[in-house]
Structure 1
Amino acid sequence: MAKEDSKRNSKCLAYVAAFVVFQTIIIVVFALTVMRIKSPKLRFGAVAVENFSTANTNSVSMTLNAQVTVKNTNFGHFKYPNSTVTILYGGMAVGEAFIPSGRAKARQTKKFNVTVDITSAQISSNDMNSGVLTLTSEAKLNGKVHLMKVIKKKKSADMSCTMAVNLATRAVQKLECK
């Protein structure tokens, strides 16, 4: 009987060890996939030019309607306060738009529209002659990723886009975001 008890005890110990190894693997996989928090991505989805006018040879006035997307790849939602998008020409701000506070759900992309009024009296004659106006945009959303209502991690979504506006067709030719 001592041999049977010994076998039974060693089997029980082997099952417990296998269970501990299995649970450790599950925890490691969970920690490396679900618990890894990444920064969301902020981008322009589409940009349309409206109300385009030129007062003289160096002045441009237009309205840009842009779709802004916040892509959240985390397993928790991303909550952010009010922010702004700034449109630049040659490093100088020519327009600004308001981004309302919001929340991008877990593993989803939130889309919303912003309107930017652009006025610039300092357009270079090279850009006016070429018919293409190059604008850049910058924005930053500082917020928190809430994971399982327990873990909160500060993250920020940055946007830096360059767009080429064709002055003849009044359309955005090229839109590149980093």
Structure 2
Amino acid sequence: MKGEGKRNTKCLAYIAAFVVFQTIIILAFALTVMRVKSPKVRFGDVVVESFTPSSTNSSSFDMRLVAQVTIKNTNFGHFKYDSSNATILYGDTPVGSAVIPKGRAKARKTQRFNVTVSVTSASLSGNANLTNDIGYGTLRLSSQAKLSGKVHLMKVIKKKKSGQMSCTMAVDLAKRAIQDLKCK
């Protein structure tokens, strides 16, 4: 009779230890794997493919940029995103945009692809800053994009997330090259 009580106490202690151990495992899993973060969207590299200054007006131009878009997904599930637009701005005025096609960034990977952006100064007529910048040979541009989608964890859990891009760059008009590309 005395040995049976000790056995029951021992069994209950093992069950309690198992429950505590399982709780720690589940908590660690929930805090690492199940925590969903927003993906990081950036321009990886931007190349000036063509630049054509206007022959009639010294403060106008047409330019084509090829930009590498990188989507860094740090989650343990893939990020499936919808089609979006990347907008190139001079000051606060849009001067070009490119379509970012819908796609999927694999779990814990960085997806890279190129987009082509046609940039034109047609909407900047009469801008004194543009005339000065072209005269100095450096054009300061910024870009913005927002990718919205869902992170799929274990094909069961879906969390809505979005990644935002905000980059600044300077176009050296003489060299036809991008300088000081910085993304947040």
TM bucket, shorter chain: over 0.9
TM-score, length of structure 2 as denominator length:
0.93
Q: Deviations over 1:60-89 (max 9, x none)?
A: 211100100111111111111111111011
Q: Deviations over 1:2-57 (max 9, x none)?
A: 22111111111111111011000001000100110111111000000011121131
Give runs of ≥4 in structure 1 deviating > 3 Å: none
RMSD: 1.0
User: Please, which runs of 5 or more residues in structure 1 have no aligned partner?
Assistant: none
Aligned residue-pair number: 177
> Which one of 138, 147, 163 corresponds to residue 141 of structure 1?
147
Give the equivalent residue in structure 1 for 2:49: 50
Q: C-alpha distance in 2, partners of 1:173/1:155?
A: 31
Give the equivalent residue in structure 1 for 2:98: 97
What letter matches 2:71 in structure 1? V
Measure how far apart 1:130 and its partner are.
Answer: 1.9
Measure how far apart 1:125 and its partner are.
Answer: 2.2
TM-score, length of structure 1 as denominator length:
0.96
Q: C-alpha distance in 1, partners of 2:113/2:35?
A: 27
Residue identity over aligned pairs, in percent, reads 68
Give the equivalent residue in structure 2 for 1:85: 86
Give the equivalent residue in structure 1 for 2:67: 66
Q: C-alpha distance in 2, partners of 1:158/1:90?
A: 19
What letter matches 1:136 in structure 2? S
> Which one of 141, 144, 161 corresponds to residue 155 of structure 1?
161
Measure how far apart 1:131 and its partner are.
Answer: 1.3
What letter matches 2:49 in structure 1? E
**For 1:116-135, what aligned pairs fall within 5 Å after superposition?**
116-121=117-122, 122=124, 124-135=130-141
Q: C-alpha distance in 2, partners of 1:149/1:98?
A: 28
What letter matches 1:71 in structure 2? K
